[in-house]
Structure 1
């Protein structure tokens, strides 16, 4: 029997008590959100219903993030494999799950070789495996979208994510095209059961499986990630551009392989620092307030001596991020960022941490060959999310690097929507009517997969 990438969560007696208190604290804000703010809007126009249910989602997610601990949230949410089975049962759609053997690099430490295996979950159907001769696999023309879910590196895949991806790909799977576009969901181990950079290694292993078992070429592959899933997509591109000996090599190589057909980054976590102005201006309007983001980040970061709970480095002191937020929230409201070199510029988010030790600190230099690894890149951000300024800065750096490169150029676009963080995920999770952003991304998939620009 296959073992999931994340172990089963079991709560202690005190955690059960804290969870019931959290449910009690959530009740009144939810009653106010449902019935205290023009509730007749839930029966109004599409725009009125969307505004009403987005406000309900905002209150539920923000209040829940304050009162529930990370372990509470992990306990209440099914793991990736169970979420896929439940979604398949509810939507009369088969989901095929397969476990993937880990791929290891020469420079990895011994602990990396004991990590849990990731999985791929194929929604609807999976491609036919190709024949293998020796170390070489036949190549196929199948088109695959690999979705890497968000959740701050600490939360599993949600049903809303699967519904979102199926909806966005609906036009690309019109029967008139003949061959389908396959949707693959990546399952990686969430923190604290694995820390940076395990999740990157697991995603690299998944790419190896797509290449070796199914013969998928990057020119027929689209990478998609929301929030921290966007970080993992960018980490894959970083490893392709500047291979780190501490990580496995990708099955594709810069220059000798075709670029990825496309990369979609929805509200990507492009910097683990929390000093951008939007963290202050949007602290009260985003589903992910700064104290929750900092708790997620500290759960994911490796517990090196400089970042341990008992030591201090400068003004930074790490507390247990697994506590109930209402207990540790005051600290995380004002905690400074950890003293990690290059944190503001993407260390641990878009670039491997050791890249800044080599003196290659400028993002426009780091990404100048982006066109050689990705043909088209779409980035989205909400005007009312804390990540906004970091995403805009990263997008500008990427465009500048792309414009000044002397090789292939990538088509890069930034979409700014009047919404909060990763709005489409919550829209589809709560059954909120799709917005214009969904239509734009659906059209982007269609142009990338069915009408590619040569």
Structure 2
């Protein structure tokens, strides 16, 4: 399960109220000065205001407060299923993880979603994406969303263990063929996909992480705005800090929540791995598509990672979208954007083409 709602102390509740008031105040002030934002801000006035508010909020609130006011992934799935008239189908996995299905678990082709959110937010808008793709792909395709534990209640490598546990369940217990499985992850979810691939290439030294092997490569992997490095020092963290909805302070904080006292390695921060680490990846996944926005604070890290990965995987499909910010595919519904972005259109068509 993603998280269990906990109660806040009186002080934490007052602090949360203060954070909300500060966020509203920042939004109002930004709205008044938005015509004067210049080229450093987001080109769309609405998003400039919303992104400013989100930065203020996420700078202020703790993970505990986030998980207090957020519906869990499990709750969001049940609400989504009810809204669509679907019978909820969930599978309990190792380490308290849960797999939530859209479509029949007996389907031949499987779309696996690892959600983002800095390892502190639950899944929210991912179910709609899976539903749309599954309906277009047909009855022989099913989507499954992993509900993993959130940080800092559980820290690395717990979430990676849960992700690997899901893949082991699909392949070894359900008999799904790797070539019929497509992995899709956004931000922290893309980080987990790269951790799974690293585990296939170099079994993790932590003996508590279950082994995983594939006789044939996965059908494909789609990395949406991958979070590859928790050390936010690249130039884009400065140049894009007033355009994106996250900043280096927020990402560093979330990274600490996830990592705890664990050392940095290629399993948790794939951007630190060398080209040699990824050699042999073509035997683990057939093709990979990666997308990122040119206005992301993570952009320089993402571009550097793509260049490293491409040395071992020359067929890597990389698409950078100018004017787009972090995880726009899943953030646009959150901010009320009705028109699909260029990245959203490409990702959906790319996933369908790989199924």
What's the TM-score once normalised by structure 1's chain length? 0.71
Query: Any conservation in 2 of the 1:153–1:228 contact (CA below 8 Å)?
Result: yes
Query: Any conservation in 2 of the 1:260–1:375 contact (CA below 8 Å)?
Result: yes
Question: For structure 1, which runs of at least 5 residues remain unmatched after alignment?
Answer: 39-49, 103-115, 129-140, 174-178, 305-339, 352-360, 404-410, 450-454
Q: Which residue matches 1:165?
A: 130
Which residue, 216, 236, 242 being the options, matches 1:278? 236
Q: Deviations over 1:365-387 (max 9, x none)?
A: 11111111111101111111121
Instruction: Give, in whole Å, the separation in 1 of the partners of 2:90 and 2:32.
Output: 41
1:238 to partner: Cα distance: 0.4
Change (3 A) 1:383 1:172: same
1:84 to partner: Cα distance: 0.7
**Per the alignment, in what secondary structure is the counterpart of residue 447 of structure 1?**
helix
Q: Please identify the structure whose Cα radius of gyration is greater.
A: 1
Q: Which residue matches 2:178?
A: 218
Instruction: Give, in whole Å, the separation in 2 of the partners of 1:341 and 1:299.
Output: 13
Matched, 1:54 2:47: yes
Matched, 1:126 2:104: yes
Matched, 1:265 2:185: no
Which residue, 100, 103, 122 being the options, matches 1:156? 122
1:169 to partner: Cα distance: 4.7
Instruction: Give, in whole Å, the separation in 2 of the partners of 1:33 and 1:163.
Output: 31
Instruction: Give, in whole Å, the separation in 2 of the partners of 1:203 and 1:223.
Output: 11
RMSD of aligned residue pairs (Cα, Å): 2.3
The 5 A counterparts of 1:285-300 are: 285-300=243-258
Change (3 A) 1:55 1:92: farther
Matched, 1:447 2:353: yes
Bigger mean CA offset, 160-169 vs 438-447: 160-169
Instruction: Give, in whole Å, the separation in 2 of the partners of 1:91 and 1:200.
Output: 30
Matched, 1:186 2:150: no
1:201 to partner: Cα distance: 0.6
Change (3 A) 1:431 1:284: closer
Q: Which residue matches 2:96?
A: 117
Change (3 A) 1:63 1:91: farther
Instruction: Give, in whole Å, the separation in 2 of the partners of 1:436 and 1:5.
Output: 30
Instruction: Give, in whole Å, the separation in 1 of the partners of 2:3 and 2:62.
Output: 17
**Per the alignment, in what secondary structure is the counterpart of residue 184 of structure 1?**
strand
Which residue, 74, 77, 81 being the options, matches 2:70? 77
Bigger mean CA offset, 11-20 vs 25-34: 25-34
Instruction: Give, in whole Å, the separation in 1 of the partners of 2:326 and 2:274.
Output: 24
1:170 to partner: Cα distance: 4.5
Question: For structure 2, which runs of at least 5 residues remain unmatched after alignment?
Answer: 36-42
Instruction: Give, in whole Å, the separation in 2 of the partners of 1:35 and 1:341.
Output: 43
Instruction: Give, in whole Å, the separation in 2 of the partners of 1:88 and 1:68.
Output: 30
Q: Which residue matches 1:319?
A: none
Which residue, 253, 263, 270 being the options, matches 1:350? 270
Matched, 1:434 2:335: no
Query: Any conservation in 1 of the 2:178–2:216 contact (CA below 8 Å)?
Result: yes
Number of residue pairs aligned between Structure 1 and Structure 2: 345
Change (3 A) 1:362 1:289: closer
Q: Deviations over 1:328-359 (max 9, x none)?
A: xxxxxxxxxxxx566xxx462228xxxxxxxx
Instruction: Give, in whole Å, the separation in 2 of the partners of 1:90 and 1:57.
Output: 27
Matched, 1:252 2:163: no
Query: Any conservation in 2 of the 1:222–1:262 contact (CA below 8 Å)?
Result: yes
The 5 A counterparts of 1:321-360 are: 340=263, 346=266, 348-350=268-270
Matched, 1:414 2:288: no
What's the TM-score once normalised by structure 2's chain length? 0.90
Query: Any conservation in 2 of the 1:171–1:442 contact (CA below 8 Å)?
Result: no
1:397 to partner: Cα distance: 0.8
**Per the alignment, in what secondary structure is the counterpart of residue 224 of structure 1?**
strand
1:188 to partner: Cα distance: 0.9
Query: Any conservation in 1 of the 2:2–2:122 contact (CA below 8 Å)?
Result: no
**Per the alignment, in what secondary structure is the counterpart of residue 270 of structure 2?**
coil
Instruction: Give, in whole Å, the separation in 1 of the partners of 2:135 and 2:229.
Output: 32
**Per the alignment, in what secondary structure is the counterpart of residue 255 of structure 2?**
helix
1:34 to partner: Cα distance: 6.5
Matched, 1:95 2:88: yes
Q: Which residue matches 2:168?
A: 208
Instruction: Give, in whole Å, the separation in 2 of the partners of 1:443 and 1:397.
Output: 26
Query: Any conservation in 2 of the 1:99–1:119 contact (CA below 8 Å)?
Result: yes
Q: Which residue matches 2:4?
A: 7
